Amino acid sequence: MGKYNKLAREIIENIGGKENINSLAHCVTRLRFKLKDENIANDDILKKLDGVVTVMKSGGQYQVVIGNHVPQVYDDISALIDIEQLNASQQDTQKPEKLLNKAIDIISGIFQPILGIMAACGMLKGLDALFVATGLYSGSSGGSMVINAIGDALFFFLPLFLGYTSAKKFGLKPMLGLVVGAIMCYPGIQASAVSSGNDAIYTLFQGSMFAAPVYIDFFGIPIISIDYTGTVIPVILAVFFAAKCEKVVNKFVPDLLKFFFVPMLTLLIALPVAFIVIGPLATFGSTAISEFVFSVRNFSPVFAGIIVGFTWQILVIFGMHWGFIPVYINNIMTMGFDNVMMPFFACTFATAGVILAILIKTKDKKMKEMSLPNFLSSIFGVTEPAIYGILLPLKKPFIISCIAGGIGGGFYGFFNLRKFMVGGMGIFELPAMIEPDGALGNLIVAVAGIFISMLAAFIMTMVAYNKKEAAVYEGANEAAVAVIEEEKTRSLAKEMIECPIKGEVLSLEDIEDAAFASGVLGKGVAIKPSEGVVVAPVNGEVTALFPSLHAIGIKSENGVEILIHVGLNTVQLEGKGFIAHVKQGDMVKQGQQLLDFDIKEIQQAGYSIVTPVVITNSADYLEVAENKKGHADRGTKLLTVIF
């Protein structure tokens, strides 16, 4: 049983149970469910779970944001629902999706399983480049060769890995997908034909950007010479086609022969088509897209960098950034570097700069507790906890992080920041920015951009984030943060709510009733009465008086809606022990007697007399502040509602 078994069970329960899950994957910080019916999921309850940051719905996925420990939560959920069998069995039962949602889901599903390993291998390649550049050891040394091989193997044989993950996504037997990837890396077909020294038979599309030499043919059909090692799109499309072929072949091959004839015929049909049609078309498509992207970038590298830097965090919120991962990887694999998507590198440090400023300026204890780990997480390239936990709820800091990201992105666009190998996140990406010849100019640009992004974000936040701002968190697991902004030119409007019952004032979260304690019914306090009299806490109208007389609702002259709920579960007394002095619709004055209740009778019946007093429309106000703890008399200032 894993460390997060309890959380895993609660998540499964509140997304509608195992039977509501079509599939599940995870990325760096979030679980990505495909649900049969998203309406069944309890969004509000999930957001309040201890260990959940927030819930998002995007790209056809129901995303539960967990944070850095998402792999452990994923493992515990997988053990409870048998994820392998579930993903396989649900392959053909999913509802049709919008094209964009489906594309993002496919891309994320293919890359997520290898993302962590890819980052690790990229870091090793980057560290090797750094050590060679700084003279720690020679690039021709055995140590360098081994470390580089460890880091480079995944990228060289990337089609094998993508063949496997694509097969699982498209419903092809995973081992067949692996074979498709291996065949596309097989040297005897592409690389050896090109390096044999023989002249090309002829060149197709000569004189265009798609000019392609032909060295071999397949029974007279030309095979365009392309080296598929390290490529992305061709193998994904080839596996997709193979998955379709397997389903067709499976229908016609007798059961007795399926074991070996189905894979044999699938490969025999799919691979020639892949080499003759799919691979070249995918390569030409990638070439056309690259040319278009670079033409836009060449028009204004600064503007392109600003756009990428400004919008990246917005894409991250919705999980849409996955749609650009293939562009980034394809550029590095085909050209040896990426400078189109790299301006996003500024965003993680812009976020860190905003969080650092908040950490310094805030007076709120919980905000400080959250800021430090979120700052470190952002430096290491994981910004979701900071985005959902602090920036989005506070709104203004999120906008600042986008602006600072755009500033850093524009700087990177102007100085043509490049990344030469895939891998690493945050500061761990820096070694991958050392130029192949060991020059450090590009790395200096990267470091300078970090300081510019962080400094811009820090200064703007220090200026814009008022010291009088306070954030009150409704629980460590809620992403929502209510912020009080005091204007310098005037005082905030406020209404005082007086204590309606004499007794001991308790924190709402400490009472036994989960609905009141969670704050879902509104902010407020609880009172343990020492006498059985309820008076009006404000001037206003009696908007509700339950037939059981155990609860009364009042709307103040300023629109504040107050619920006084005498005891817990006392509705079951059906009015016994309660006397009402008003009726629904009556106008009342502050201090006017509303109810009498018999404390002993309620307790003898086995019910708690603890009485929640909550503002049911709390979300309409900047803050509901507690003014009193301990003993309070009727008429004492109990709550302050700030407009």
**Residues 431-447: tens digit of each pLDDT:** 888 888 888 899 999 99
Asked if residue 115 has pLDDT above 50, the reply is yes
Integer-rounded Cα Rg, in Å, for the chain is 31
**469 HSE (CA, 13 A, CB side):** 23
DSSP 430-481: GGGGS-TTS--HHHHHHHHHHHHHHHHHHHHHHHHS-TT-EEEES-TT---E
Angle at 125 between CA 121 and CA 131, to 5 degrees: 140
Residues of the chain with CATH 2.70.70.10: 494-642
Token pair 């020492």: residue: 530
Q: DSSP secondary-structure letter at 500?
A: S
The Cα–Cα gap between 591 and 314 comes to 50
Contact assessment for residue 65 and residue 56, using Cβ atoms and an 8 Å cutoff: yes
pLDDT (0 to 100) of residue 489? 35
The conformational region for residue 558 under phi > 0 = left, psi -120 to 50 = alpha, else beta, is alpha
Mean pLDDT of 135-157: 85
Asked if residue 116 has pLDDT above 90, the reply is no
Question: Is 3.40.640.10 the CATH classification of the domain at 5-96?
Answer: no
**Residues 165-203: tens digit of each pLDDT:** 999 888 899 999 999 999 988 876 654 444 455 667 777
**Residues 499-519: tens digit of each pLDDT:** 999 999 998 888 888 778 877
Asked if residue 267 has pLDDT above 90, the reply is yes
CB < 8 Å & 24+ apart, contacts of 545-552: 545/580, 545/582, 545/583, 545/584, 546/571, 547/575, 548/573, 548/574, 548/575, 548/578, 549/575, 549/578, 549/579, 549/580, 549/595, 550/575, 550/578, 550/597, 552/580, 552/582, 552/594, 552/595
Mean pLDDT of 302-315: 84
As given in the structure block, the two tokens for residue 63 are 């995303």
pLDDT (0 to 100) of residue 296? 66
* Buried-exposed string 5-40: b where 16+ CB fall within 10 A, e elsewhere: bebbebbbebbbeeebbbbbbbbbbbbbbbbeebee
**Residues 245-257: tens digit of each pLDDT:** 999 998 888 888 8
Residues of the chain with CATH 3.30.1360.60: 5-96
Stronger pLDDT, 463 or 367, i.e. the higher one: 463
The conformational region for residue 633 under phi > 0 = left, psi -120 to 50 = alpha, else beta, is beta
**Residues 23-62: tens digit of each pLDDT:** 887 766 778 888 888 888 888 888 888 888 778 776 567 8
Stronger pLDDT, 93 or 311, i.e. the higher one: 311
**Residues 368-396: tens digit of each pLDDT:** 777 888 788 788 777 766 776 678 777 78
pLDDT (0 to 100) of residue 485? 37
pLDDT (0 to 100) of residue 84? 60
Confidence of residue 211 (pLDDT cuts 50, 70, 90): confident
The Cα–Cα gap between 401 and 348 comes to 9
Confidence of residue 138 (pLDDT cuts 50, 70, 90): confident
Bridge partners for 33 per DSSP: 24, 62
Asked if residue 285 has pLDDT above 50, the reply is yes
* Summary mean pLDDT of the chain: 81
Chain centre distance of CA 537: 43
**256 HSE (CA, 13 A, CB side):** 0
pLDDT > 90: percent of the chain:
26
pLDDT (0 to 100) of residue 477? 34
**Residues 443-491: tens digit of each pLDDT:** 999 999 999 999 999 999 998 876 444 333 333 333 333 333 333 333 4
- Sequence-separated (6 or more) residues with CB below 8 Å from residue 7: 49, 50, 51, 52, 73, 76
pLDDT (0 to 100) of residue 355? 92
Stronger pLDDT, 484 or 520, i.e. the higher one: 520
Q: DSSP secondary-structure letter at 630?
A: E
Asked if residue 401 has pLDDT above 50, the reply is yes
**Phi, psi torsion values for 528, nearest 5 degrees:** -95, 105
The burial of 257, by beta-carbon neighbours within 10 Å (0-12 exposed, 13-18 middle, 19 or more buried), is given as exposed
Asked if residue 599 has pLDDT above 90, the reply is yes
**Of the candidate ranges 17-21, 328-332, 471-475, the one whose mean pLDDT is the lowest:** 471-475
The Cα–Cα gap between 259 and 262 comes to 6
Contact assessment for residue 538 and residue 498, using Cβ atoms and an 8 Å cutoff: yes
Mean pLDDT of 145-160: 86
pLDDT (0 to 100) of residue 351? 92
Asked if residue 547 has pLDDT above 90, the reply is no
Mean pLDDT of 75-98: 63
Confidence of residue 596 (pLDDT cuts 50, 70, 90): very high
CB < 8 Å & 24+ apart, contacts of 538-541: 538/495, 538/497, 538/498, 538/562, 538/590, 539/588, 539/589, 539/590, 540/587, 540/588, 541/585, 541/586, 541/587, 541/588
The Cα–Cα gap between 47 and 382 comes to 20
Strand 623-626 to strand 593-597: parallel, antiparallel, or no bridges (unpaired)? unpaired
Q: pTM value?
A: 0.49
Asked if residue 146 has pLDDT above 80, the reply is yes
Which CATH architecture fits 494-642?
A: Distorted Sandwich (2.70)
The four Cα atoms 431, 436, 442, 446 give a dihedral, to 10 degrees, of -20
**443 HSE (CA, 13 A, CB side):** 20
Which residues participate in catalysis according to the annotation? 27, 565
Asked if residue 97 has pLDDT above 60, the reply is no
**Phi, psi torsion values for 54, nearest 5 degrees:** -165, 180
Stronger pLDDT, 24 or 265, i.e. the higher one: 265
pLDDT (0 to 100) of residue 197? 55
Q: In 3-state terms, what secondary structure has residue 504?
A: strand
**Residues 563-586: tens digit of each pLDDT:** 999 998 888 888 899 999 999 999
Token pair 């995944």: residue: 154
Contact assessment for residue 409 and residue 344, using Cβ atoms and an 8 Å cutoff: yes
The burial of 53, by beta-carbon neighbours within 10 Å (0-12 exposed, 13-18 middle, 19 or more buried), is given as buried
Contact assessment for residue 165 and residue 109, using Cβ atoms and an 8 Å cutoff: yes
